[in-house]
Amino acid sequence: MMKKQALVIFVAAAVLLGAFVVFVIQEQKSALPPSTGSPTPLPGVEIASYEGKDLTAAESLPDNSIKGPQHINMTDYRLNITGLVNQSLSYTYNDVLGKYPHYTKLVTLHCVEGWDATILWEGVQVRDLVKDAGPDPRANTIVFTAADGYTTSFPLGYIMGRDIIMAYRVNNITLPVDRGYPFQLVAEDKWGYKWIKWIEKIELTDDPGYRGYWEERGYSNSGDLNQSYVGA
């Protein structure tokens, strides 16, 4: 009889202990912050070197824009590919990032003011956007327009025949506002005034003589780095 009573007491104690453990676990769970699904990405940290080469800090670059840094309303922002194309395209920032492959490239920007900056750029290839729009056979020139009205142009072959990217990240961080967010052209082998920032429009034309902001003011239309930026 006593053995049965002891067994009953033991079982009852085990049940009570189990209930207590469940209660404690539930209390601990309630103290944790609620799950929000996928993790929230935090801003990247700018890297100072890449493959053994020192990088130029993005914030150290001077502002030489014509109207100061442009603060784009990203709700309304659209990148338009237009002109002599089979179909005009209009993309949001996220459309571009989601639709096209991303590439990284280490390229040095050389400014006519005498300074240079070696940066790890990340972006999409401009020719991918142009191909989707379908260049008209008459097109021979591509004109870029920025949010501040700044423009510059290139032979269409320069864009279509090379891995020219439109960057949205630099040194592992999102392109800063004063560097041209949302997009800056990485116009390699060209002087810095061809590296247009805050790009809003890409237009194909049949006007090889088109001159942009600085080109109209006497700068070389080709902007080739191995030549003087004055004239021609």
What digits encode the pLDDT tens for the residues 77-119? 999 999 999 999 999 999 999 999 999 999 999 999 999 999 9
pLDDT average, residue stretch 56-77: 95
How large is the C-alpha radius of gyration of the chain?
Answer: 28
Higher pLDDT, 215 or 33: 215
What pLDDT, on the 0 to 100 scale, is given for residue 231? 75
What pLDDT, on the 0 to 100 scale, is given for residue 205? 98
pLDDT (tens digit per residue) in 134-144:
999 999 999 99
What pLDDT, on the 0 to 100 scale, is given for residue 105? 96
Token pair listed for 183: 């997009």
What pLDDT, on the 0 to 100 scale, is given for residue 221? 96
What pLDDT, on the 0 to 100 scale, is given for residue 44? 76
Average pLDDT, rounded, for the chain: 88
What pLDDT, on the 0 to 100 scale, is given for residue 36? 57
What pLDDT, on the 0 to 100 scale, is given for residue 21? 41
Cis, peptide link before residue 182, omega less than 30° from 0: yes
Size of the chain, expressed as the number of residues it contains: 232
Percent of the chain beyond pLDDT 70? Answer: 81
Task: Tell me the pTM.
Answer: 0.81
Instruction: Answer whether 31's CB lies under 8 Å from 24's CB.
Output: no
- What gap in Å lies between CA 183 and CA 61, rounded to an integer? 16
pLDDT (tens digit per residue) in 4-44:
454 444 444 444 445 444 444 444 444 445 555 666 766 77
What pLDDT, on the 0 to 100 scale, is given for residue 31? 47
Instruction: Answer whether 155's CB lies under 8 Å from 163's CB.
Output: no
